[in-house]
């Protein structure tokens, strides 16, 4: 069994709840991490850098832009010594809207965050990993993309379903280069934003962000060499 540890990693949306959990798990395991942030997240990024001195570097850019994505990966490789062992993509937005009343702007926002960021950044990291002959990419989709879509979630799930197809098809392209591509499909993640948005729901059945991060790290280990193109439901106590 290959027990090689992840020494270098990138985390997109590193200032979010899942992103912070990923950074903590990675640094605790000895990895050096570059996190990607949006402009406006400077204070939270500074907090992470202060918490993990010498092990975490924050970079800022537009993840929907191919030009910006290329620049971010070039700089990440400089910081990480030319190698990215694993990438964790925790970018995403959600909204409750039906096809009959969703605005053009909202469809664009969902698609841009949930799919375009994965494609624009993911392919740049994929290209960097090709020369390494190894690497792992992990994405965050949604459990209901593989279930009957509830009313009011169509536009959101459509963008996440596109992400699923990106993951599975990129995994096929990665086989000759030893690159594995997988996604976790959580139900509701237990965050303060979700608790405030759904005050009448019981969060004890939701997915703990630290446990989700743990699943993502486990699937990206070199010992999981035969797992690629997988869409892994992570549903807490929800059915």
Residue 209 belongs to domain with CATH number = 3.40.50.720
Domain contains 42:
yes
The Cα–Cα gap between 78 and 85 comes to 14
3-state helix, strand, coil in the chain (%, to 5): 50, 15, 35
Q: How many domains does the chain have?
A: 1
pLDDT tens-place string over residues 86-124: 999 999 998 889 999 999 999 999 999 999 999 999 999
In a domain, 67, yes or no: yes
Tell me: pLDDT of 142 over 70: yes
Query: 88 and 109 in contact (C-beta within 8 Å)?
Result: no
pTM of the model: 0.94
Is residue 239, in this structure, part of any structural domain at all?
no
What CA–CA distance (Å, rounded) separates 177 from 220? 15
Residue 50: partners with Cβ closer than 8 Å, 6 or more residues away: none
Q: List the domain range (segments joined by +) for residue 24.
A: 8-234
Asked, for residue 161, whether it belongs to a domain, the answer is: yes
In a domain, 2, yes or no: no
Residue 134 within a domain: yes
Residue 34 resides in a domain: yes
pLDDT digits (tens, 9 = 90+) for 120-136: 999 999 999 999 999 99
CA–CA gap between residue 205 and residue 106 (Å, rounded): 29
Can you give the pLDDT at residue 1? 34
Indicate whether 3 belongs to any domain.
Answer: no
pLDDT band at 34; cut points 50, 70, 90 = very high
Integer Cα distance of 76 and 152 in angstroms:
38
Kindly report, residue by residue over 210-229, the tens digit of the pLDDT: 999 999 999 999 889 899 99
| Backbone φ/ψ region at 91: left (φ over 0), alpha (ψ -120 to 50), beta | beta
């Amino acid at each position: 069994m290959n027990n090689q540890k992840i020494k270098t990693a990138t985390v997109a949306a590193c200032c979010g709840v899942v992103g912070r959990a990923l950074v903590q798990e990675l640094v605790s395991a000895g990895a050096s991490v570059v996190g990607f942030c949006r402009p406006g997240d400077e204070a939270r990024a500074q907090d992470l850098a202060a918490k993990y001195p010498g092990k975490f570097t924050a970079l800022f850019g537009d993840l929907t832009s191919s030009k910006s994505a290329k620049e971010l990966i070039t700089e990440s490789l400089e910081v990480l010594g030319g190698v990215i062992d694993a990438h964790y993509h925790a970018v995403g937005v959600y909204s409750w809207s039906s096809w009959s009343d969703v605005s053009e702007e909202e469809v664009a926002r969902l698609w841009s965050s949930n799919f375009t960021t994965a494609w624009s950044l993911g392919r740049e990291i994929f290209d960097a990993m090709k020369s390494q002959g190894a690497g792992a990419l992990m994405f965050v989709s949604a459990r209901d993309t593989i279930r009957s879509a509830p009313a009011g979630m169509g536009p959101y799930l459509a963008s996440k379903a596109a992400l699923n197809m990106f993951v599975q098809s990129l995994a096929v392209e990665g086989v000759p280069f030893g690159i594995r591509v997988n996604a976790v499909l959580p139900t509701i993640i237990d965050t303060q934003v979700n608790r405030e948005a759904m005050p009448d729901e019981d969060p004890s059945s939701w997915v703990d962000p630290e446990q989700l991060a743990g699943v993502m790290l486990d699937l990206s280990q070199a010992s999981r060499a035969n797992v690629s193109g997988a869409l892994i439901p992570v549903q807490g106590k929800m059915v």
